[in-house]
Each structure stands twice: as C-alpha cells, then as structure tokens.
Structure 1
C-alpha cells in the first residue's frame, strides 16, 4: 500500500465550492465498493484508503484521500468473437437461413451470461486527493477518461462537483516549447533529458528523445522547423521528477529519496502512522506543484 502517486491530473473547483469531512462521512458510504456478482461485468465504488472503517482519510482539516475501485470481469474479446461466430454459423447452417440482428444479439447475450460467472475479476485502484476542502482535486492517473470516471462517481456521491481541468492562460505546448527552445525555465524547474515533439503539420511525425541534451542542435532544429514540444521531462527542486505533457498531465512521477526517507524513523509496524505521515508529504508536494509549476502557465506571456 502506498499513497505516493505515479501520475497526476489536477482539477480546480468553482470559487465558493467546498467539500467538508461531514460531506464525505454522509455521502460516500452509499457508494461503497461491492464485488461483482455472477452476472456483473463491472462494479465501481469507494474503498477505505487505509483499510479502516472510514471511506476516506482526513489529513488535517482540509485535505482528504479517497480510493476508487473498479472491478471488471475480463473476457478476451478475440476469443469471445470467435466463439460467437462459430455459434451463429452453426445455428444458421442448422436452420438453413441467416439469422437477423436481434437473434445474433440474443446469442451474444446468452454466451456472455454463461461465461461471466467464470471470468476472473480484476481490480483497478485510483487514489483521489482532495486539497484545501476541494479547491483542488488531484487524481492519480494520466488518462483523462479514467479521471473523469472517478470524478463522475464523486459528483454522484456528493450531488455536485463543479470542477474543470487546471489549465493556464497560455497553451501548455507553447510554454514548454519555449522552455526547451530558450533553455529558460521558472525557478525550481530544471529540464530533464527526455521529450516528445510533433510537427504542427497534421501528418507530421512524433519524435521521442531520451537521454538527450534538449539544447542540442538537432532538437533546436526541429523546433525551428515548426515542431512543438508535447511532453518534456522535468526535475522539480531536486524533490520530484516527472514528465509534463501539453495536456497538463504529470506522468511517471518519482519522489526523491530525500522525501521518502523523511519518515523512516516511524516503526514499520505502525502502518497507519507511516501512511498518514507519507500522505502529509504527498499533499505538501502536490500543493507546491500547483502553486509553482501550474502557476507558471498562467504567468507566461
């Protein structure tokens, strides 16, 4: 179990909106996760982050951790379609006529109901961080669709969730391209050695570089010929490293040993205390990223 995120998508709430501990205490239990039944293909819901009775974990008075779970019975689509084709062909041969769409759909549903109870369920967990009573919400995912699914459950749980992706005034691709072109970045932000570039032309190739000097003539030439930086590696304050995309996704987030070692003095058997202490570090770093990295896009001209 870890509270350190690997990816982050950050959302900002409408001014005046807030989430309190009382809101979570009252609303989350109605949407608690329940395992798939024999005929269920998928189930979603909230789990206790720290395997306690509470469906959330409160750090301080304004920061909360939630744990989303999706359980899905995985069926190999290719194998299932082959089985469906064989079954339909056999029935058509037996009847001496082609089956219509309604009949094929009925066969598909019957096959699915037979297979589902024996399909092994797979769980997918996503942590959600509520920051400053909901002023910001950060989700441990680099996939916008997955993040929106988690937000949809929180919106359904609370009854309202007026949030939008946290974006700047200037398109992110414009800002990070200028960082790479000029080599000048805001204080605390150091460019790494990886990037993805793409030509502004619709059929232009995507160029990925790793372990490279981003100030090299080759990279600068691509930018000079109308390539935009779509993703760039960043080392932030020697504390966290990640890739930042033109969609404001933080991917491959790695916390430094300096951060992770801060709580080594807490006994390993005191699991909850260690998790809470680690969570305090996580909230602190997310807030710093928001106030420093994300704000750079609003200030860029």
Structure 2
C-alpha cells in the first residue's frame, strides 16, 4: 500500500464528503471481471480486501481501482489472419481488398479473445479533503487519467484540478543543480536527466553519479535543462521529481516503516498504521515541495 508514485491533483477548500457517501457513490462502478468479448474492464475494489470500497482514517480516505486487461498480442492476431487471407487469396486467385482483410482480422480477434489470458492490477488513490489533495499512485499520466475518468463517473461532485506551481519543475531543478543548493528540507541525490531544448532533444542521464561536478555545470552552460532530479526530503523520503511535476520512485526510508511495524500487532492494525504514517509524511512533503517551487499558481 505504500505509494511509489504521486500524480498530484488539487481539491478546493471546503470540499467535503463522508466515507458513507463515497462508499455509496463508488458502488455504482464496482469492478467486474472482463466478459468473454471484453478487452478491458475497470472499477472500484476494496483497498484492504474486505467488503468496503473506502478505507477511512482521520479524515483521510484510501480507495483502489481494479483493472483487468486481456493479453492478446497483435502479432498473434496478424499471424493467424495473414494465414487465412493467404488461403483465401490462393483459392480465389486474386488479392483481397482492405475491407475484407480487416474483417478477417476482426473475426480472428473475436475468436481468440474468449481464450486470452488476462492481467489484473490495482491503482491506489489517497484523498485528503483536509489539505485538499487527491493523489494517484500511478507511474504514468495515462493510468492516472483512467482513474480520474472513473472518479468523475462515480462521484457526484468532484472539482478536481492538476497541481500547478509558480515555478516550473524544470526551471527550479536546473537552478538547484547549477547552484548546488537544494531548497530547505531537501538534499540533491545522485540521479538526474539533462535535456537540450532544441528539436533533437539531446539527453544526458546520470545514475549514481556525483552531480556537483564541472561536467554537469558545462551541460547546463550549453543550455541543457534538468527534466528529472533525485531528491531526499528531511532524510525520510527519497524520490525523483520530473518536469511534469510527477513524483517517481518514492521510497520511504526504513525508519518510517519500522515505526509502523512497532505500532501494529495484527494485519488490520498494520494496514492502518502504514496508511497513517504514509499520509502523515506525504502531507508535509507535498507542502514543502510546492513551497520550493514558488507556491501554487492562483486559479483564474
């Protein structure tokens, strides 16, 4: 349940919902497994694998989107379809048109789909009405948008907007690297990505490499900017920030997880302790990160 990525959205001050209200509204779109002819299915599942769709604690909510996707590689479909097309062309003595070939591929897909293997995944969402955060633990924007769409379909009122800061992450990260000074509460780690602003987008990646060296400053002097930078916050959480204000590779240092383990005796208590400590750490991290980027943009 410990989040590894933060796709960050903002909720306006005064937005409220109870756990019961959320439970009722999410129940309209409970996860159902793929039917025989479905390529994909998504819906809400229990975040702690019980009968509840919402885990609520200290005015914080945890929900989870379940996704099932059929695995039907296009190479397999094309191979079988091409064999059938070749047989028909040999029998008839002429090539099939695009429409006929497309119909054969569609028929092959329909035949194979009921027998295809499926893959299931879970995406967690943390909702913090107190501080106005909605956080999706998704590695990419596409998965986050799937969650957002399902949320809009499920909840009656969700005035959601992407987090935007006064200073762009790229500008801030480039300055931090150039000066060798991270903002208060943060330290610069040993990974970064530098990219040229021209059409070629020449890219240099550093991994487990000192970043306070002349080589880095030379790239910056040439006009490259930082599009990804590894940071640690208060010696408690390490992560990578990218140019889209996405937090990646989130890692809670061992001391935090040890605190959670010391507070729990059962699996239920462990889940609650993990969630309490995670949200208790992430709220101030997000506050400090937004401050380091000049604060939030005012909504027009």
- Normalised to the residue count of structure 1, the TM-score between the two structures is 0.93
Question: What is residue 194 of structure 1 aligned with on the other side?
Answer: 191
Question: What is residue 54 of structure 2 aligned with on the other side?
Answer: 56
Q: What are the Cα deviations for residues 177-236 of structure 1, in whole angstroms up to 9, with x where unaligned? A: 101111222211000011000011221311000122211000011001101000001011
- Kept in 1, the 8 Å contact 2:61–2:127? The answer is yes
Give, in whole Å, the separation in 1 of the partners of 2:107 and 2:130: 47
Which range moves more in the overlay, 249-258 or 99-108? 99-108
Q: What are the Cα deviations for residues 64-116 of structure 1, in whole angstroms up to 9, with x where unaligned? A: 00111110110122222122222222222222333333333322222112111
Give, in whole Å, the separation in 2 of the partners of 1:89 and 1:159: 53
Instruction: Provide the aligned C-alpha RMSD in A.
Output: 1.7
Question: What is residue 113 of structure 2 aligned with on the other side?
Answer: 116
Question: What is residue 74 of structure 1 aligned with on the other side?
Answer: 71
Pairing 1:174–2:171 present: yes
Pairing 1:276–2:272 present: yes
Pairing 1:157–2:154 present: yes
Give, in whole Å, the separation in 2 of the partners of 1:36 and 1:133: 36
2:31 aligns with one of 29, 33, 38: 33
Distance 1:96-1:15 versus aligned 2 partners, 3 A rule? farther
Question: What is residue 222 of structure 1 aligned with on the other side?
Answer: 219
Report matched runs for 1:201-212 at 5 Å. 201-212=198-209
Length, aligned pairs only: 296
Q: What are the Cα deviations for residues 220-267 of structure 1, in whole angstroms up to 9, with x where unaligned? A: 110011010000010110101011101111111111111000022345
Moved over 3 A (4+): 14-19
Give, in whole Å, the separation in 2 of the partners of 1:147 and 1:89: 42
Question: What is residue 18 of structure 2 aligned with on the other side?
Answer: 20
- Normalised to the residue count of structure 2, the TM-score between the two structures is 0.93
- Kept in 1, the 8 Å contact 2:23–2:53? The answer is yes
- Kept in 1, the 8 Å contact 2:260–2:277? The answer is no
Name stretches of at least 5 consecutive residues in structure 1 with no aligned partner: none
